[in-house]
Structure 1
Amino acid sequence: MSKQELKILGQDTDEGCCQGLASAPLDENQAADLAKIFKALGDPVRLRLMSMIASRGEGEVCVCDLTPAFDLSQPTISHHLKLLRQAGLIDCERRGTWVYYWVLPGVLERLAAFLTTAEPAAVTA
Protein backbone atom coordinates (compact mmCIF):
# COMPACT_ATOMS: atom_id res chain seq x y z
CA MET A 1 0.00 0.00 0.00
CA SER A 2 1.38 3.40 -0.90
CA LYS A 3 2.08 6.13 1.65
CA GLN A 4 -0.80 8.08 0.07
CA GLU A 5 -3.21 5.15 0.61
CA LEU A 6 -2.05 4.84 4.22
CA LYS A 7 -2.58 8.56 4.71
CA ILE A 8 -6.11 8.36 3.28
CA LEU A 9 -6.98 5.57 5.70
CA GLY A 10 -5.39 7.29 8.68
CA GLN A 11 -2.45 4.90 8.94
CA ASP A 12 0.14 7.58 8.31
CA THR A 13 2.10 8.30 11.48
CA ASP A 14 1.72 12.05 10.99
CA GLU A 15 -2.05 11.98 11.39
CA GLY A 16 -4.19 10.30 14.03
CA CYS A 17 -7.25 9.63 11.89
CA CYS A 18 -8.52 10.20 8.44
CA GLN A 19 -11.02 12.84 7.44
CA GLY A 20 -14.41 11.65 6.33
CA LEU A 21 -15.64 11.74 2.76
CA ALA A 22 -17.95 14.67 3.48
CA SER A 23 -15.36 16.75 5.36
CA ALA A 24 -13.29 17.82 2.33
CA PRO A 25 -13.12 16.98 -1.38
CA LEU A 26 -10.55 14.36 -2.36
CA ASP A 27 -7.72 15.44 -4.61
CA GLU A 28 -6.93 13.44 -7.74
CA ASN A 29 -4.24 11.26 -6.10
CA GLN A 30 -6.35 10.51 -3.03
CA ALA A 31 -9.29 9.49 -5.20
CA ALA A 32 -7.11 7.24 -7.38
CA ASP A 33 -5.53 5.54 -4.37
CA LEU A 34 -8.82 5.07 -2.55
CA ALA A 35 -10.44 3.73 -5.73
CA LYS A 36 -7.92 0.86 -5.69
CA ILE A 37 -9.16 -0.17 -2.27
CA PHE A 38 -12.83 0.01 -3.27
CA LYS A 39 -12.08 -1.77 -6.54
CA ALA A 40 -10.66 -4.67 -4.55
CA LEU A 41 -13.91 -4.81 -2.58
CA GLY A 42 -16.05 -4.30 -5.70
CA ASP A 43 -15.87 -7.93 -6.79
CA PRO A 44 -18.46 -10.27 -5.17
CA VAL A 45 -15.91 -13.05 -4.61
CA ARG A 46 -13.43 -10.69 -2.93
CA LEU A 47 -16.19 -9.10 -0.88
CA ARG A 48 -17.27 -12.56 0.34
CA LEU A 49 -13.66 -13.52 1.09
CA MET A 50 -13.17 -10.30 3.04
CA SER A 51 -16.36 -10.98 4.98
CA MET A 52 -15.35 -14.56 5.72
CA ILE A 53 -11.94 -13.47 6.98
CA ALA A 54 -13.24 -10.50 9.00
CA SER A 55 -16.03 -12.48 10.66
CA ARG A 56 -13.73 -15.25 11.84
CA GLY A 57 -13.78 -15.32 15.63
CA GLU A 58 -10.19 -16.51 15.91
CA GLY A 59 -8.99 -13.51 13.94
CA GLU A 60 -7.47 -15.56 11.14
CA VAL A 61 -8.59 -18.21 8.71
CA CYS A 62 -6.79 -20.89 6.72
CA VAL A 63 -7.14 -20.80 2.96
CA CYS A 64 -8.24 -24.42 3.25
CA ASP A 65 -11.40 -23.16 5.01
CA LEU A 66 -12.09 -20.47 2.39
CA THR A 67 -11.74 -22.43 -0.83
CA PRO A 68 -14.62 -24.92 -0.33
CA ALA A 69 -17.13 -22.06 0.00
CA PHE A 70 -16.69 -21.18 -3.69
CA ASP A 71 -17.21 -22.97 -6.97
CA LEU A 72 -13.82 -21.69 -8.12
CA SER A 73 -10.39 -23.24 -8.45
CA GLN A 74 -7.77 -22.80 -5.74
CA PRO A 75 -5.56 -20.62 -8.01
CA THR A 76 -8.53 -18.29 -8.64
CA ILE A 77 -9.18 -17.95 -4.90
CA SER A 78 -5.47 -17.26 -4.36
CA HIS A 79 -5.59 -14.56 -7.03
CA HIS A 80 -8.53 -12.83 -5.30
CA LEU A 81 -6.74 -13.04 -1.95
CA LYS A 82 -3.62 -11.55 -3.54
CA LEU A 83 -5.64 -8.57 -4.77
CA LEU A 84 -7.06 -8.01 -1.27
CA ARG A 85 -3.50 -8.12 0.10
CA GLN A 86 -2.24 -5.68 -2.53
CA ALA A 87 -5.05 -3.30 -1.61
CA GLY A 88 -3.81 -3.34 1.99
CA LEU A 89 -6.94 -4.95 3.44
CA ILE A 90 -5.55 -8.29 4.61
CA ASP A 91 -2.25 -9.97 5.34
CA CYS A 92 -1.15 -13.58 5.45
CA GLU A 93 1.42 -16.02 6.73
CA ARG A 94 2.46 -19.40 5.36
CA ARG A 95 2.52 -22.19 7.94
CA GLY A 96 3.73 -25.40 6.40
CA THR A 97 1.44 -26.24 3.49
CA TRP A 98 -1.29 -23.74 4.36
CA VAL A 99 -1.60 -19.97 4.27
CA TYR A 100 -3.51 -18.13 7.00
CA TYR A 101 -5.21 -14.78 6.37
CA TRP A 102 -6.39 -11.98 8.66
CA VAL A 103 -7.78 -8.46 8.27
CA LEU A 104 -5.20 -5.80 8.99
CA PRO A 105 -5.93 -4.05 12.30
CA GLY A 106 -8.18 -1.02 12.02
CA VAL A 107 -8.67 -1.18 8.24
CA LEU A 108 -12.43 -1.73 8.36
CA GLU A 109 -12.91 0.88 11.07
CA ARG A 110 -10.94 3.46 9.04
CA LEU A 111 -12.95 2.71 5.89
CA ALA A 112 -16.17 3.01 7.86
CA ALA A 113 -15.03 6.29 9.42
CA PHE A 114 -14.10 7.63 5.98
CA LEU A 115 -17.59 6.86 4.65
CA THR A 116 -19.45 8.13 7.71
CA THR A 117 -20.86 11.62 7.61
CA ALA A 118 -21.85 13.69 10.59
CA GLU A 119 -25.52 13.73 11.43
CA PRO A 120 -27.11 17.01 10.34
CA ALA A 121 -28.18 19.29 13.16
CA ALA A 122 -31.83 19.00 14.03
CA VAL A 123 -33.94 21.80 12.63
CA THR A 124 -36.11 23.43 15.26
CA ALA A 125 -39.43 24.94 14.32
Structure 2
Amino acid sequence: MAASEEMYRIPARFRRIENLHIVFWLLKDLCWVMLWRPLGIAMIVPTMGAALLITWQTRNIKSELLHNLAVVFWITANAYWMITEFFSDDDSLRYYAVIPFSLGIIVIAYYYIGEFWQRLKKN
Protein backbone atom coordinates (compact mmCIF):
# COMPACT_ATOMS: atom_id res chain seq x y z
CA MET A 1 0.00 0.00 0.00
CA ALA A 2 1.33 3.42 -0.93
CA ALA A 3 2.20 5.69 1.97
CA SER A 4 -0.11 8.40 0.62
CA GLU A 5 -3.10 6.07 0.19
CA GLU A 6 -5.97 6.99 2.49
CA MET A 7 -6.97 4.26 4.93
CA TYR A 8 -10.63 3.52 5.62
CA ARG A 9 -11.34 2.48 9.19
CA ILE A 10 -14.63 1.59 10.75
CA PRO A 11 -15.31 1.43 14.51
CA ALA A 12 -15.60 -2.15 15.81
CA ARG A 13 -19.12 -1.53 17.12
CA PHE A 14 -20.23 -0.57 13.58
CA ARG A 15 -18.49 -3.62 12.13
CA ARG A 16 -20.28 -5.96 14.54
CA ILE A 17 -23.66 -4.59 13.41
CA GLU A 18 -22.63 -5.00 9.75
CA ASN A 19 -21.64 -8.62 10.35
CA LEU A 20 -24.85 -9.34 12.25
CA HIS A 21 -26.80 -7.71 9.43
CA ILE A 22 -25.34 -10.27 7.01
CA VAL A 23 -26.52 -13.09 9.29
CA PHE A 24 -30.04 -11.61 9.47
CA TRP A 25 -30.19 -11.18 5.70
CA LEU A 26 -28.99 -14.73 5.03
CA LEU A 27 -31.53 -16.12 7.49
CA LYS A 28 -34.33 -14.09 5.88
CA ASP A 29 -33.41 -15.37 2.42
CA LEU A 30 -33.01 -18.94 3.70
CA CYS A 31 -36.53 -18.73 5.11
CA TRP A 32 -37.71 -17.42 1.76
CA VAL A 33 -36.20 -20.25 -0.26
CA MET A 34 -37.41 -22.85 2.26
CA LEU A 35 -40.90 -21.26 2.34
CA TRP A 36 -40.76 -20.74 6.11
CA ARG A 37 -43.26 -17.91 6.00
CA PRO A 38 -43.58 -16.83 9.66
CA LEU A 39 -39.83 -16.80 10.28
CA GLY A 40 -39.14 -15.20 6.91
CA ILE A 41 -41.57 -12.38 7.65
CA ALA A 42 -40.18 -12.00 11.16
CA MET A 43 -36.62 -11.75 9.81
CA ILE A 44 -37.56 -8.65 7.83
CA VAL A 45 -37.59 -6.64 11.07
CA PRO A 46 -34.01 -7.30 12.27
CA THR A 47 -32.65 -7.24 8.71
CA MET A 48 -34.23 -3.88 7.93
CA GLY A 49 -33.52 -2.58 11.42
CA ALA A 50 -29.82 -3.36 11.12
CA ALA A 51 -29.69 -1.80 7.64
CA LEU A 52 -31.34 1.38 8.92
CA LEU A 53 -29.01 1.51 11.94
CA ILE A 54 -25.94 1.09 9.72
CA THR A 55 -27.24 3.82 7.41
CA TRP A 56 -27.79 6.15 10.37
CA GLN A 57 -24.36 5.39 11.83
CA THR A 58 -22.66 6.27 8.55
CA ARG A 59 -24.72 9.39 7.83
CA ASN A 60 -21.66 11.65 8.10
CA ILE A 61 -19.66 9.76 5.45
CA LYS A 62 -21.30 10.49 2.10
CA SER A 63 -20.05 7.39 0.27
CA GLU A 64 -21.07 5.06 3.10
CA LEU A 65 -24.41 6.78 3.62
CA LEU A 66 -25.40 6.49 -0.04
CA HIS A 67 -24.22 2.89 -0.40
CA ASN A 68 -26.04 1.90 2.79
CA LEU A 69 -29.16 3.75 1.66
CA ALA A 70 -29.03 1.70 -1.55
CA VAL A 71 -28.86 -1.43 0.61
CA VAL A 72 -31.98 -0.29 2.49
CA PHE A 73 -33.79 0.02 -0.85
CA TRP A 74 -32.45 -3.38 -1.89
CA ILE A 75 -33.73 -5.05 1.29
CA THR A 76 -37.07 -3.28 0.88
CA ALA A 77 -37.42 -4.68 -2.64
CA ASN A 78 -36.19 -8.08 -1.52
CA ALA A 79 -38.64 -8.22 1.41
CA TYR A 80 -41.56 -7.06 -0.74
CA TRP A 81 -40.74 -9.69 -3.36
CA MET A 82 -40.58 -12.39 -0.67
CA ILE A 83 -43.95 -11.33 0.75
CA THR A 84 -45.60 -11.41 -2.68
CA GLU A 85 -44.27 -14.91 -3.29
CA PHE A 86 -45.46 -16.06 0.13
CA PHE A 87 -48.97 -14.64 -0.04
CA SER A 88 -50.01 -14.15 -3.67
CA ASP A 89 -50.49 -16.30 -6.71
CA ASP A 90 -50.29 -13.19 -8.90
CA ASP A 91 -46.74 -13.26 -10.25
CA SER A 92 -47.12 -9.76 -11.66
CA LEU A 93 -47.06 -8.23 -8.14
CA ARG A 94 -43.38 -9.00 -7.75
CA TYR A 95 -42.59 -6.53 -10.52
CA TYR A 96 -43.39 -3.66 -8.15
CA ALA A 97 -40.10 -4.55 -6.44
CA VAL A 98 -38.53 -2.69 -9.36
CA ILE A 99 -39.44 0.58 -7.59
CA PRO A 100 -37.14 0.23 -4.55
CA PHE A 101 -34.52 -1.57 -6.66
CA SER A 102 -34.54 1.43 -9.03
CA LEU A 103 -34.32 3.89 -6.15
CA GLY A 104 -31.21 2.06 -4.98
CA ILE A 105 -29.69 2.29 -8.43
CA ILE A 106 -30.52 6.01 -8.57
CA VAL A 107 -28.81 6.61 -5.22
CA ILE A 108 -25.68 4.75 -6.37
CA ALA A 109 -25.71 6.50 -9.76
CA TYR A 110 -26.01 9.87 -8.00
CA TYR A 111 -22.94 9.06 -5.92
CA TYR A 112 -20.76 7.79 -8.77
CA ILE A 113 -21.79 10.47 -11.23
CA GLY A 114 -21.00 13.06 -8.55
CA GLU A 115 -17.62 11.44 -7.89
CA PHE A 116 -16.85 11.34 -11.61
CA TRP A 117 -17.87 15.00 -11.96
CA GLN A 118 -15.68 16.05 -9.03
CA ARG A 119 -12.66 14.27 -10.53
CA LEU A 120 -13.26 15.98 -13.88
CA LYS A 121 -13.38 19.36 -12.16
CA LYS A 122 -10.07 18.67 -10.35
CA ASN A 123 -8.24 17.79 -13.57
Verify same fold: TM over 0.5.
no
With normalisation by structure 1, the TM-score equals 0.31
By relative contact order (CA 8 Å, sep 6+), the higher-ranking structure is: 1
Higher relative strand content: 1
